[in-house]
Amino acid sequence: MGQGPEELRRDIERRRDDLGETIDAIGDRVSPGRIMERRRNRIVGGFRSVTDRLMGTVSSGSDHVGDVASSVKDHISGDAIKQQTSGAPIGAGLVAFGVGFLVAAAFPATQPEQDLAGRAQDAIEPVTGALAEAGQHVASELKDDASQAASEVKETATAAAGDVADSAKEQAVAAKEDAGSITS
């Protein structure tokens, strides 16, 4: 004989739960919000990876400083480098970037680098045009909003100045009348 009704019900419930989890996973996978979150996490992870490679992590930074110190021992002591870069990873990164830039500038660009630069320039041109157009559009909208806000402030200030002037005249007349009634 086959399975009993209770076993069939449990099997059906288990399969429903599995199917529900699969559908939830698919929904999560194709959700625009989750797609954007995964892309953002990927970009942030890439930036962290690049910064870790450029500036190193805390533990690898001291090891790297030690390596650099031993290679340039006749010029600077390792303790001096550690002291100068301690607590300043951005400074160390900028120094490393500057040295790398000078080394790169000393050597002519290779053909693959020139090709890559040309392709990057071609890919960037449409984006720069679109960004410039978007920037002009935003600037014109902000200019209109700023002009409107300035007009409103000017109108409010003019009205307030008129109210103050009227109030001052009324107070002057009242003071004059009070002075006249005191002398009489």
Output the CA torsion 108→111→114→120 (10° steps): -150
Q: Among 81-85, 113-117, 125-129, where is mean pLDDT lowest?
A: 81-85
Question: Average of pLDDT values for 38-48?
Answer: 84
Structure-model confidence comparison of residues 184 and 78, the more confident one: 184
Question: Cα separation of 171 and 168, whole Å?
Answer: 5
Q: Among 61-75, 103-117, 139-153, where is mean pLDDT lowest?
A: 61-75
Question: Cα separation of 62 and 58, whole Å?
Answer: 7
**pLDDT for the residue numbered 87:** 58
- DSSP letter for 3, please: -
pLDDT at 41 over 80: yes
Domain coordinates in residue numbering, the chain: 1-45
Decide: 68 and 95 in contact? Cβ < 8 Å.
no
Q: Model pTM greater than 0.85?
A: no
Provide the 3-class DSSP secondary structure of residue 94. helix
Question: Average of pLDDT values for 43-72?
Answer: 63
Cα dist from 2 to 12, 13, 15, 42, 171, whole Å: 15, 18, 18, 51, 105
Cβ count near 95 (within 10 Å): 14
Q: Tell me the chain's radius of gyration from C-alpha atoms.
A: 36
Q: How confident is the model at residue 13 (pLDDT cuts 50, 70, 90)?
A: very high
Structure-model confidence comparison of residues 30 and 71, the more confident one: 30
Instruction: At 7, list the tokens.
Output: 């076993």
Give the list of residues 6+ apart from residue 82 with CB closer than 8 angstroms, or none: 62, 65, 66, 69
Name the residue type at position 65. V
pLDDT digits 0-9 by tens, 107-124:
777 888 788 888 888 878
**pLDDT for the residue numbered 2:** 63
Structure-model confidence comparison of residues 12 and 52, the more confident one: 12
Q: How confident is the model at residue 61 (pLDDT cuts 50, 70, 90)?
A: very low
Name the residue type at position 2. G
